[in-house]
Structure 1
Amino acid sequence: MESTNVASSALAIRHDHAPALPVVWQSRWGLPIGYAVSSEALALELLSRGVELMYRPTPWHMPGVIRHPALRAAAARTPRDDAIQVSYDQADLFFTEHPGYKIGYTMLEVDGLPREWVAACNAMDEIWTPGRWGATVFADAGVTRPIVVMPLGYDPARFRPDGPARRIAGRFTFLSIFEWGERKAPEVLLRAYAAAFTRRDDVLLVLRVNNFDADVDVARQIAALRLPADAPPIVVIYNRQISDDSLGSLYRSADCFVLPTRGEGWGLPILEAMACGLPVIATDWSGQTEFFHSGVGYPLRVRRLVAANAKCPYYLGWRWADPDEEHLIALMRYVYEHPDEARQVGARAAQEAAARWTWAHAAERIHTRLLAVAAPV
């Protein structure tokens, strides 16, 4: 998941005068990683609904710095044994010793689960995962506990069509945002872009790339692709921290978002781009299929599933998508040649995102399920 900052929440809001629902939230806060940032967003929304939230930190090698006062207050509360616990993290990091009702909330980007993940899931009382695709993967992998589809969300205050932007005059701009690595298929994107266009086309590809692997030389990997000499320009924004407000502006400065990913647990940058009103080209497989479809974007065909060869040990023995490079070339050309239609698709995407997929929508679904779990039989 791509990291973004947490939106402010109206924490004084209470939906009713019923006693506060006690919930232990086991996760990671105060870290610049996707799980932590989305976890904080959900926690703030649950606090705004009057949930009595207690924080159980997941042990992690990096120390976290919790900045929001409401989250610091939740972290200061002692977890109650009789409260429902939600473990929002990798399955192998679930705290399975909680005496009360235990919910595991997790996701993975391939077509199976490691054995230790299955065992951890089956040690909980129920499992949540963001989409129907993931629910099928978990069930097929041997998770026997009840599986509930519990979508995530995005921050509509920062990711919206009507905000500041810095457009590049005279060039149709493609944008992609990802952490460099095999899963995001950067070589597929770069080859397709260079095959679809030449320097005679008024196009630009902007890559906002993070790379935290000291063994990976991104510039060398790009050079190794030997892109054509007449390939159109590419701009790489490399390892730069960008605030949410600036990130929203970056999305809105583009004409199309493109990500030929091999697999996503949820696909937050795809959703954020949609929310900013961009037409999106993205792979038609994995977690993003919960919210990304032909009515709101340009799904990229998958040729087949292939071995998920990457450094991540969780992927060993499993498969992910092989995005169709020729189809990607065709889609990029199509969007470039039909900008009016593409803008209409982006407008529909923004409307649907705002109507269904915000953090508030996600928290409302979570709150409803927690109340059902807590209700006396």
Structure 2
Amino acid sequence: MKQKMVRFIADHKQKLKKLLPKKLLRATKLAYLKRLMAKYQKEPIHPAEYQKKEAGVNLIGDIRAEIGLGQSMRLLANELELSEIPFGIYNFQLDGNVRRGDHSFEHRMREDYPYRVNLFHVNPQEVGLAYLYLNKEIWRDRYNIAFWLWELEEFPQEYQEAIKFFDEIWTPSEFASSSIRKVTDKPVYTLPYYVTAGKDENCGRADFGLPEDKFLYLIMYDTNSTMARKNPVGALDAYKKAFPVEDEHVGLVIKMNNPKQEDLEVLREQTKGYQNVYLIAEVLDKPKVNSLIAAVDVFVSLHRAEGFGLVMAEAMLLDTVCVATDWSSNTEFMDADSACMVSFQKVEIQETSGNYKKGCRWAEPDVEEAAGYMRRLYEDPAYYDRLAKNGKAKINEVLGAQTITALLKERLAPILQAAGDAQADRA
């Protein structure tokens, strides 16, 4: 009965919000899910049943979502395809204000789960719902792996119950892996992305209404994401410190997803007097986004924390120089020879922002230093060209297909052969 109630709340959330307080709905759902997760016990894998299944991977998650989470899953799917490991995709999605128009892996979609390994690309806070919605047989006699991203050194206590559903955890960065290792004895492996950046070759500045004769800087963010972590205001402040209002040789491109009227009003106030600010507010497909990144000169990310930093890696691959905070996961594929690395102070979070709790620590980038880098990239073409060349080479070296698929095959090979043994070793 309780399961039906939680499912009803999840399926009819938008309608119920109009009738009942949002806090009551959230509290009811979370209370049940916490009890469900607390009672869960991972059953041992029966080797005979395991061997009956095909050697391969069931990839489970929101593969069509046109947000970072969906792109992350598509990168995993691409790595599996390149590695020639048999796999299928089961599209698991929850509701939300998310466009789901990416059908690039429709040829891999299926409704059954024929393979021995489940690779869940589901956020920790959604694992309880995944267990509630998915057939319980899916979880049994398979080796269950979670693929998670996390941005801080402290892994939240409320996420730790989700670990018990899995035999091991994967993340795309050693920074994220080290955070999770602090709270579990289960194996935690770092499997970075093989980064690609396909673009529309016929799409240039004119298609975005951008001038051809200016040196352009790009800030990108989604207003549904955590603004405090992404820190677009810091990047905007750095641009304003680097260039006076009257400088007509440069321009700032702001790519926003899902802006509300109040967001636009704040932006207009912050850029008051600047004529060369170009706002792009529509949702674009991934090739168009990459075309925009390639069309500008510099991508600026003064983030306070990153679980990987995919857009920075894509920019480097597209010959667009990055100005980025020198902290968290992005430092694993960029350095002072391949990007402008902005120093920082580690500070306590003063107010809880989404999943990032008050009292935890993250980076506060040096805006003055970032402004200096932005100015130098414009004034020193040789410096710019060196970083652009080194950045692309760095991504191809660290996150290239051969390197990443080798890591993937190396980790999956022993599991696909004998997950019972692997699980016994873990226990």
- The reply to whether TM is greater than 0.5 is yes
Checking the alignment, whether the CA contact within 8 Å between 2:239 and 2:371 is kept in structure 1 is yes
Q: In structure 2, what is the Cα distance between the partners aligned to 1:45 and 1:149?
A: 14
Listed as ranges, the matches of 1:228-377 within 5 Å are: 229=273, 231=274, 233-238=276-281, 240-307=282-349, 309=351, 311-313=353-355, 315=357, 317-358=359-400, 361-376=403-418
Which residue of 1 is the match for residue 211 of structure 2? 168
Checking the alignment, whether the CA contact within 8 Å between 1:207 and 1:237 is kept in structure 2 is yes
Deviations 1:74-112 (A, max 9, x none): 323x214x7111112212333566122121110122332
Q: In structure 1, what is the Cα distance between the partners aligned to 2:292 and 2:323?
A: 17
Listed as ranges, the matches of 1:19-30 within 5 Å are: 21-30=55-64
Checking the alignment, whether the CA contact within 8 Å between 2:222 and 2:258 is kept in structure 1 is yes
Aligned residues: 348
Q: Equivalent of 1:89, from 116, 122, 132? A: 122
1:369–1:207 distance in 2 versus 1, CA, 3 Å:
same
Which residue of 2 is the match for residue 148 of structure 1? 189
Q: Equivalent of 2:156, from 94, 114, 120? A: 114
Of 348-357 and 166-175, the range deviating more from structure 2: 166-175
Q: Post-superposition shift, 1:156?
A: 4.2
Structure 1, unaligned runs of 5 or more: 1-18
**Which of these two proteins has the greater Rg computed from alpha carbons?**
2
Checking the alignment, whether the CA contact within 8 Å between 1:20 and 1:50 is kept in structure 2 is no
Which residue of 2 is the match for residue 67 of structure 1? 103
Which residue of 2 is the match for residue 209 of structure 1? 256
Listed as ranges, the matches of 1:181-196 within 5 Å are: 181-196=227-242
Q: Post-superposition shift, 1:122?
A: 4.1
Identity, % of aligned pairs?
22
User: Normalised by the size of structure 2, how large is the TM-score?
Assistant: 0.73
Deviations 1:261-287 (A, max 9, x none): 112211111111101111110111122
Checking the alignment, whether the CA contact within 8 Å between 1:203 and 1:232 is kept in structure 2 is no
Amino acid at match of 2:120: S
Structure 2, unaligned runs of 5 or more: 1-52, 422-427
Q: In structure 2, what is the Cα distance between the partners aligned to 1:156 and 1:224?
A: 34
SS of aligned partner of 2:303: coil
Checking the alignment, whether the CA contact within 8 Å between 2:197 and 2:290 is kept in structure 1 is no
Q: Equivalent of 1:138, from 147, 168, 180? A: 180
Amino acid at match of 1:85: N
SS of aligned partner of 1:42: helix
CA RMSD of aligned residues (A): 2.9
Amino acid at match of 1:187: V
Which residue of 1 is the match for residue 265 of structure 2? 220
User: Normalised by the size of structure 1, how large is the TM-score?
Assistant: 0.82
Checking the alignment, whether the CA contact within 8 Å between 2:152 and 2:176 is kept in structure 1 is no
Checking the alignment, whether the CA contact within 8 Å between 1:113 and 1:314 is kept in structure 2 is no
Amino acid at match of 1:170: D
SS of aligned partner of 1:41: helix
SS of aligned partner of 1:31: coil
Checking the alignment, whether the CA contact within 8 Å between 2:319 and 2:388 is kept in structure 1 is yes
Q: In structure 1, what is the Cα distance between the partners aligned to 2:222 and 2:163?
A: 27
Deviations 1:104-146 (A, max 9, x none): 1101223322223222124421111111111222223x13211
Checking the alignment, whether the CA contact within 8 Å between 1:107 and 1:129 is kept in structure 2 is yes
SS of aligned partner of 2:176: helix
Checking the alignment, whether the CA contact within 8 Å between 1:28 and 1:58 is kept in structure 2 is yes
Checking the alignment, whether the CA contact within 8 Å between 1:90 and 1:106 is kept in structure 2 is yes
